[in-house]
Structure 1
């Protein structure tokens, strides 16, 4: 990817950069680690910096052939309520092998075949749907880069149809629904939908694809 920054911007970035002298896992649990880096700041002082270390994830905005959206209602323990959102999940090591499911459309340089494979798997596992029209890369974001190294790869899934039973993890409590896109957009705009991944995907789609 071409670096579009000016020389002044690159110099400023260099002046702001921290030096990492060492790194280690401070706490490990299923799904993510808490990592601590030994860092030196631009002024020469040093400290430790803790952050969540986790694999990349995919988020899917799945459209049916009628233009409706497949959504999930999932219990979220951290906020103590049911959350309406989009199917999403962690990219697994086996996802790098590629997929023979549906063709990709305009995937983009940040969305390798492994991410499409992960998107197809997560869509099937959480909803029982498959994207007969393929996947299209929407945007890649760092949603919480002050406290985590998370990278979320958002995809559109086209012409989704129910094809199989779901395959939920033991700690997933999920119901599936199909909603009108305009209703989902209204929920995002008025704040009824608070799921950050869903807000990002819907607004990006609205701004760049509609």
Structure 2
């Protein structure tokens, strides 16, 4: 039943009797990228039951701005974007580079640099945190850490996992924002990253 917290975030103590008591925990199924975990729990009313969810490492999501194309707002910034086949929805998804962390990743910014290079062949000059989120915490313990990377330059080849099919290009930031707003881009990680940058990070 030993289970280490993987979110790297902060929690709040239960003060109103909502917490479930963890009785046991085990992995029911494993596959590349994530596990399906079963928790045996006792609910606040005393009912004992089980609860299944996706158990996966934290991930990093990168907004990579191309070196030499980070100009004043009216002239437009340019991002490195990817197109990736997503089997779960049966189509190509357009959006931001992202990847899972490794067990020995002590520095999330370094993990963001690595994942950017592996997926796109670009290297970042600087990397700064933007926000962290729990995108689907009803069915998964996933935590996504967002970073803004600047002065990104193409320096090498992609180093993709065996089950990744990714095409790399660049696009004006304003175009990606417009596509996020009109529904053309539907990738949740990309939507949150672009909207958070637009609200909090742009121009800083």
Normalised-by-shorter TM-score class: 0.7 to 0.9
Q: For residue 32 of structure 1, report the CA deviation from its aligned partner.
A: 0.7
Pair 1:127 & 2:117 matched: no
Aligned to 1:207: 199
List runs of 5+ in structure 2 lacking aligned partners. Answer: 1-9, 70-76
Aligned to 2:4: none
Q: For residue 64 of structure 1, report the CA deviation from its aligned partner.
A: 1.3
Aligned to 2:151: 159
What is the correspondence of 1:100-119 to structure 2 with a 5 Å cutoff?
114-119=107-112
Q: For residue 10 of structure 1, report the CA deviation from its aligned partner.
A: 5.3
What is the correspondence of 1:1-210 to structure 2 with a 5 Å cutoff?
11-12=15-16, 15-65=17-67, 66=69, 67-96=77-106, 114-132=107-125, 134-210=126-202
TM-score normalized by structure 2? Answer: 0.87
2:139 partner SS: coil
List runs of 5+ in structure 1 lacking aligned partners. Answer: 97-113
Q: For residue 177 of structure 1, report the CA deviation from its aligned partner.
A: 0.8
For residues 94-142 of structure 1, the C-alpha deviation after alignment (integer angstroms, 9 at most, x for no partner) is: 433xxxxxxxxxxxxxxxxx2111111110011110111x111011000
In structure 1, how many angstroms separate the alpha carbons of the residues matched to 2:100 and 2:53? 18
Larger helix percent: 1
In structure 2, how many angstroms separate the alpha carbons of the residues matched to 1:72 and 1:197? 12
TM-score normalized by structure 1? Answer: 0.84
2:38 partner SS: strand
The worse-fitting range, judged by mean Cα deviation, of 181-190 and 87-96 is: 87-96
RMSD across aligned positions (CA): 1.6
For residues 125-177 of structure 1, the C-alpha deviation after alignment (integer angstroms, 9 at most, x for no partner) is: 11110111x11101100001000000000100011111111111111111101
